A and B are shown apart, each in its own frame.
Chain A
Amino acid sequence: MEIMKTFYSMVILSSLALLAMGCQKDPLKNMTDDESRIYITDHDSTARFSDFHTFCVSDSAALIVNGQSKMQFTAADAAYIQAVKDQMQARGYVLVSKNDNPDLGLTVNRIISTTTGVISYGSYWDYYDTYWDPYYWGYPGYGYYLPYSYAVYQVSEGAVSIDMVDLKDANKNQKLDVIWTGLIRGSGIYNDSVAPVTVKALFDQSPYLQTN
């Protein structure tokens, strides 16, 4: 009887110890798509966003795969473009057409890397004028300028980027200043049903985006 008690105690406690060793909590297990997502925003801290009143959004999205881009307009792209319009209007900005000299231009971009390496956000900006020719906004010959560093994170799988360009001061500055950027990363982001929620998250954490 005592032998059996000893044996069972050994088996139970040894099993518990080995089980504990093998039971590292996996943070990605049971993580919902919403929990997997991160929203990163940055802006030109010298910009006065209340000085801008009108805006337009690109009529299609740039699909950037391994640094090569093409324009596209899927259901998800349409949903993202519409969500950007909704959020800008909710903050007092007036939607106008591209031909009506908008103060702000916004682009929607899907960034995908299928290579084993990563696309740094720095290189994303290096080739920005190949995705969005300044001619698109009516300012051929101007270059884009990002007045802040966006080097904390790298795009290794996929992301949706929304960028805001200062068109009002383009002629005065002789360049197209990017004054706000939003980046969405995580699971299930290329989906029209999640576009409103994810874009709202970007704007909600940017309370300075107001006309007054």
Chain B
Amino acid sequence: MSINLNYNYSFPLSDFKSNLVGNASPRGFTGNILYHANPILSIGLGFGYQDYFQKYPRQVYNYGQSQQISAVLSNSVQTIPVMARVEFSPFLKTLTSVRPYVSAAAGANFISNTQYLGEFSNPSNSTGFIAQGGFGIKIPFMKFNNWGADIGGTYNYAPYKKFGYKNLDNVNVHAGIYFNLSE
């Protein structure tokens, strides 16, 4: 059994980037609780949190045939993925100091999307599907093999079919620590 906790930096992609939030987010973390099914395969739970925000300059928006609204528009999106996770470390038996791994995960994405026109908010909460692929390396701290650093990246496929949006896809880099509770 092992746990890890990472600082996460996220970059929105595709429709998320072009229509909702284009700014990268430095406000996030990820975590995993994994059971070592065998020396190279671990399964468990992955979770996280990320806050995305972008403010757009004042602009006039048309509503219907005759209405115009001028506002500074801000989009604030928070995601909390909770996923089943599989981690595969194929070189565990040949490498001792650095342990590369690939990972896959899928589950629920709890989404809070609040759009502000000026100071007036329009919040919306929803739950969507999320699938994740990733890779990374685990570097044990010398003399303390149960502890180590975890550095890697992930790609999140996250459909989001509301208000005309298509997805909240993103790519991430993370750095953190892991701790093996038992071998």
Contact = CB atoms under 8 A, between A and B. Distances in A.
Asked if chains A and B come from one complex, the reply is yes
Interface of A: 2-3, 5-6, 9-10, 13-14, 16-18, 20-21, 23-25, 27-28, 31, 35-45, 148-150, 152-153, 185-187, 201, 205-206
Contacts of A152: 63, 67, 69
A6 B179 CA distance: 11
Given A13-B7, A17-B176, A205-B70, A23 B119 contact: no
Nearest to B141: A6
A28 B144 contact: no
Contacts of A148: 66-67
A197 to B, nearest CB: 12
Nearest to B78: A24
A43 B63 CA distance: 12
B76 to A, nearest CB: 5
Contacts of B176: 13, 17
A28 B78 contact: no
B95 interface: no
Nearest to B114: A27
Interface of B: 5-8, 26-29, 31, 49, 51, 53, 55, 58, 60, 63-72, 74, 76, 78, 114, 116-121, 141-144, 147, 149, 175-177
Residue picked from B66, B143, B175, most chain A C-beta under 10 Å: B66
Contact of B28 (A20, A36, A43, A206): A20
Given A14-B177, A149-B64, 19 more contacts: A3-B144, A5-B141, A6-B141, A17-B6, A17-B176, A18-B29, A20-B49, A20-B51, A25-B53, A27-B76, A27-B114, A28-B119, A31-B72, A35-B119, A37-B71, A39-B70, A41-B67, A185-B120, A186-B118
B66 A27 contact: no
A20 B66 contact: no
8 contacts: A9-B149, A20-B49, A20-B51, A24-B51, A27-B55, A36-B118, A41-B68, A186-B119
Contacts of A40: 67-70
Given A10-B177, A17-B7, A20-B27, A35 B66 contact: no
A34 B149 CA distance: 46
Nearest to A148: B66
Residue picked from A10, A20, A42, A150, most chain B C-beta under 10 Å: A20
Contact of A38 (B27, B53, B70, B147): B70
B119 A13 contact: no
Given A185-B120, A186-B119, A13 B177 contact: yes
Contacts of A28: 116, 119
Contact of B8 (A20, A27, A149, A185): A20
Nearest to A35: B72
Contacts of B8: 20
A45 B65 contact: yes
A42 B29 CA distance: 45
Nearest to A7: B147
A149 to B, nearest CB: 8
Nearest to A186: B118
